């Protein structure tokens, strides 16, 4: 039997159930992976509350990312070996478990010797790299404002952007989180719980504004981001945790026409049908790890059986960096 964390009905952390399930076997085109570290993130919150776009039929085991070792190869699987370290990124869940039988397309080989606890953050760094180098007009970006900079993706963006020599302005909801963002390499921080973001960004950039705004919160005042863009600046929204804008977006963009602003909605699912680009992004992120260019901040390691506690921490917005579960 295999221990796993299951959701039968959407709700708060209390709906997470620890269950024993039959150990899966690797079917055709699948890889059986024994878990080493399981990432906890916002997709898990969306899954748990029943609003995830890629929700499977309930009851289901949640979790979209884990690292571990190959235990078994199904018929037709080539290019992997038993015992090999891998990353599993499975958007339909199943990673909050001691084992997962994942499709080969969801499995990324990792270098021998890589720290598998650190590698549980690889998905965050893949998203961060894609935001900065694919979603954005990278050749024009000298400065970036990242909203919610203390989370897993936010801290990954700060580290990569700082490494690339960009001016990084990190927004966070408390001084504690701002201090954390500075530790990750942020040039400036803004406590948006008590400071006016637009005014501070303009002051920090001498009135020019930033070339890129990365925002996963959005919310009713999202269009205020346009006020702090530099000429030809861009906003990339990669989630809408705070809901949709109150004002008409196109009307507000036209009101800032002299800047020629652009807005993009981004998801890593853009690459679901582009395996070559997915492989390139994974390789770029892995290279950052292997070369020591980044170091994922792990907030806490909790036993898999304490997944409910992990989600309580997630809901309380107390997590700085990455929270992982250990089977």
For residue 191, the cross-strand partners are: 172
pLDDT above 90 (res 190): yes
Name the packing angle between helices 152-163 and 122-130 (round to 10°): 60
Q: Which fold has domain 2-121+296-326?
A: Quinone Oxidoreductase; Chain A, domain 1 (3.90.180)
Percentage of the chain surpassing pLDDT 70? 100
pLDDT above 90 (res 225): yes
CATH code, 125-269 = 3.40.50.720
pLDDT above 90 (res 224): yes
Q: pLDDT digits over 250-295, tens only? A: 999 999 999 999 999 999 989 988 989 999 999 999 999 988 889 9
pLDDT at residue number 91: 85
pLDDT at residue number 137: 87
Percentage of the chain surpassing pLDDT 90? 90
Cα of first residue to Cα of last residue in the chain, in angstroms, is: 13
Geometric angle at alpha carbon 14, from 149 and 20, rounded to 5°: 105
Residue 154 and residue 184: Cα distance in Å, rounded? 10
Extents of the domains making up the chain: 2-121+296-326, 125-269
pLDDT at residue number 290: 84
Q: pLDDT digits over 91-132, tens only? A: 889 999 999 999 999 999 999 889 999 999 999 999 999 999
Residue 142 and residue 144: Cα distance in Å, rounded? 7
pLDDT at residue number 59: 96
pLDDT above 90 (res 169): yes
Q: What is the DSSP string of 218-231?
A: --TTGGGGGGGEEE
């Amino acid at each position: 039997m295999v221990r796993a964390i299951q959701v039968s009905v959407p709700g708060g952390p209390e709906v997470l159930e620890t269950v024993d399930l039959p150990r899966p076997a690797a079917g055709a085109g699948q890889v059986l992976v024994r878990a080493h570290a399981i990432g906890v993130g916002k997709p898990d919150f969306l899954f748990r509350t029943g609003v995830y776009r890629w929700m499977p039929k309930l009851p289901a085991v949640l979790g979209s990312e884990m690292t571990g070792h190959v235990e078994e190869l199904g018929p037709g699987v080539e290019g992997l070996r038993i015992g090999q370290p891998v990353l599993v990124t499975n958007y339909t869940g199943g990673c909050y478990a001691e084992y997962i039988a994942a499709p080969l397309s969801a499995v990324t080989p990792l270098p021998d010797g890589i720290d598998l606890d650190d590698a549980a953050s690889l998905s965050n760094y893949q998203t961060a790299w894609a935001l900065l180098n694919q979603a954005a007009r990278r050749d024009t970006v000298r400065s970036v404002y990242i909203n919610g900079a203390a989370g897993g993706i936010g801290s990954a963006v700060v580290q990569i952007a700082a490494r690339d020599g960009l001016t990084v302005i990190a927004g966070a909801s408390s001084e504690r989180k701002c201090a954390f963002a500075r530790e990750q390499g942020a040039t400036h921080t803004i406590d948006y719980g008590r400071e006016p973001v637009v005014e501070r960004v303009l002051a920090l950039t001498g009135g020019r504004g930033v070339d890129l705004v990365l925002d996963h919160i959005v919310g009713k005042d999202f269009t205020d981001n346009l006020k702090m863009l530099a000429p030809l600046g861009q906003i990339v929204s990669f989630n809408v945790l705070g809901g949709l804008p109150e004002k008409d977006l196109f009307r507000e963009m036209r009101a800032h026409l002299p800047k020629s602003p652009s807005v993009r909605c981004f998801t890593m699912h853009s690459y679901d049908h582009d395996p070559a680009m997915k492989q390139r992004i994974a390789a770029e992120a892995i290279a950052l790890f292997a070369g020591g260019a980044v170091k994922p901040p792990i907030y806490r390691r909790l036993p898999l059986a304490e997944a409910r506690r992990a989600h309580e921490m997630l809901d309380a917005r107390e997590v700085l960096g990455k929270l992982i579960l250990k089977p």
